[in-house]
Amino acid sequence: MSLIHIENLTKHFKILNRREGLRGAFRDLFSGDYRTVEAVAGISFDIEPGEIVGYIGPNGAGKSTTIKMMTGILKPTGGILQVNGLVPYDNRIRQAQTMGVVFGQRTQLWWDLPVIESFRIMKEIYKVDQKMFDRHMDMFNELVGLKALYSQQVRTLSLGQRMLCDISASFLHNPQVVFLDEPTIGLDISVKAKIRSVIQQLNREHNTTIILTTHDLGDVEALCQRIIIIDKGKILYDGDIKRVHALFGAYRTLKLQIDDFTEATLRTLTEKLSGRFGAGHGITVAETEESWTDVTIDQARTPLSDVLSFVMSSFAVEDVRIVEISMENVVRKVYDGALK
């Protein structure tokens, strides 16, 4: 039996229609003018033990709402939702014992106290016995160097350190499933990489199921075999990451700022690139903003470094940026039928 079973799940919110200005605010005091927002509009999926599932989508897609229903905080409006065969909302306290949750933008640690105190409190909350506690604390120490932070007040930790502590804490009681909601938000690349590897090792340690919501496609690429894309409360794609990978994984966009840019430059650039790399090279050139040229490269066919060194040697390039394809682009491509 699957660990999480979701069938036609919906969640509606009633939201007061606010009016503008001070006068509007006063009138709102007595307003009964509500509209219904469908945050989750009928989704279905199953998650098996030990999976790491990327649950992604743009802002306001319904990711967090789904997580909050799975953790038993929010009551679904309709549909079936079972974790371990139980309905989370009706068995919140029992269910919580088998779950770990990290909300990237909030901490579960005690802000004013040294790090170790939060772990001690969590130990009591989850009734973790001393043996398991010691074993896990040693493991966290190996993974993230936790011991060095024991006596530090949580509020004085850097965002990356805090996140590593938060993630560790959510694994303390050896939960069956851990929900990681935006665990890499606001972190720089090296810290992100660290967090990803820690998540991976924690998943392996006890075959913990992990549900990861994120904005960062890099997280998903590094961690998940399966990906669920949600937008406007509906599932757009649920399946192997490899197919989605074709959409964004191999593509990088090289943004170039070329000296003395004219219409002709764009043409010569296109010609020279196809001359150098031949047909079927998977390179497209487009002018975007004032004097910036986007060269999108399919790395499966042409290495980015080759293109970059070729362009640098042939043109007077003032500035270069390399960007990954964005979440919004992926969602747009899926809408356009890229995965059909």
Give the interface with another protein as residue ranges (CB under 8 A).
13, 64, 68, 71-75, 92-94, 96-97, 99, 101, 103-108, 110, 112-113, 117, 120-121, 123-127, 153, 181-182
Give the nearer residue to another protein in terms of CB position, either 59 or 190. Answer: 59
Could you tell me the smallest distance in angstroms from the CB atom of residue 110 to another protein?
Answer: 6
Nearer to another protein, 97 or 309 (CB): 97
Contact 28, 19 (CB under 8 A): yes
Nearer to another protein, 33 or 240 (CB): 33
Q: CB nearer to another protein: give 35 or 106.
A: 106
In which order are the strands placed within the sheet that holds 292-298?
Answer: 283-287, 292-298, 251-258, 317-324
Task: Catalogue the long-range contacts made by 13-21 (C-beta closer than 8 Å, 24 or more residues apart).
Answer: 13/37, 13/39
Residue 215: CB minimum distance to another protein, A: 12
Least Å distance, CB 263 to another protein, is 45
Least distance (Å) between residue 82 CB and another protein = 17
Distance between CA atoms of 72 and 75, rounded to whole angstroms? 7
Q: Which amino acid is at 254?
A: L
* Residue with smaller CB distance to another protein, 92 or 272: 92
The β-bridge partners of 9 are: 43
Question: In 3-state terms, the chain is what percent helix, strand and coil (to 5)?
Answer: 40, 30, 30
Spatial distance between the Cα atoms of 318 and 42, rounded to a whole number of angstroms: 50
- Under 8 Å between Cβ of 97 and 88: no
Q: How far is the CB of 149 from another protein (least distance, A)?
A: 17
Is the Cβ of residue 68 or residue 196 nearer to another protein in the bound state? 68
Q: How far is the CB of 311 from another protein (least distance, A)?
A: 41
Query: Of all helices (H) and strands (E), which one includes residue 255?
Result: strand 251-258
> What sign has the CA pseudo-torsion 311, 313, 318, 323?
positive
